[in-house]
Structure 1
Amino acid sequence: LHFTLLGNQEARDCGLGFIVKGKQCDDIDECKELEPTPPCQSTATCYNTYGSFYCQCQPGFISTTTVDFTPLTGKCKDLNECQEKPQVCGSNSACLNTFGSFKCQCQPGFRSTTTVNFTALTGDCKDMDECKEQTADCPNNLSCVNTPGSYTCICQSGYKLTESRCE
């Protein structure tokens, strides 16, 4: 903090992060004073400190340097939750990274218990019974047997498999 008082005169040089107010230097709130162009990028939150400020990345983003940084010392980049936490979606699902977040989708043969796009907190994937749902394609003399994520066709009772068909 630098300022000069000369008798009843006003402060002259307050230094960076401060503004002259009468006979004293007051802190500038850089986070508010610099609006509509805030000092931190849109994926970070600005925090004012006495004489300065710092930025922190919002959830879904990670700093290129340290947790607390300034625009001159770092920035935020997208956090790939799918790489950071490979099992973030749970079993029978695939993780898809999005800007600042991620979503989960069920693998073929499985269905979400909630919506098509979900997180491990909002849904999971259950096996589809292709045989009961009549999406399986088993030709004549073959019966459908459900398997996890798929199905198989087997010869009906009284038939035997010869050259990839039941007779």
Structure 2
Amino acid sequence: MRYNTQNQMCEDVDECEELGPDVCFNGVCINTLGAYECECSPGYVLDNTGYICRDNRKGSCWTKMVDGRCENNLPRLALRSECCCSVGVAWGSPCEICEHALCECSKGYAKVDDKDCADINECELNSGICKGGGTCVNTDGSYRCECPPGLTLDATRKLVVRVGK
């Protein structure tokens, strides 16, 4: 509200117009009497600041692109941030190429449920990430594959092979 000295009355200020187009990131600004609110699109939720709409949709996480087609989707649905900021190259249906610039955290971390950057459990996200009988061990910001006795990892560090092969 702002006092108008000419007519000596309080008048509503359109904060949405005054603050500009980025006031409600990923959402729509709704002017209210003396304030404003951010409204999120379906699949987005307002974070605890009340000014940012975070993508809360879950979709397929794709780990491979071949000739512009998404291949090798993970067994469970993932948030876009979980997928694109860890093991994914594309997300959703139809699939969209991951833009790592959209990651608010370092690789292997994502904002989930409006918390600070948290480690993504790649082992949980992709249960088959260690091929050939290896065991996935989640680490801060990444993961590693471990082998049972008599087996070792190949050069990719993801495929388990017999020792001596």
TM-score by length of 1: 0.33
Structure with higher RCO (Cα < 8 A, 6+ apart): 2
Higher share of residues assigned helix: 2
TM-score by length of 2: 0.33
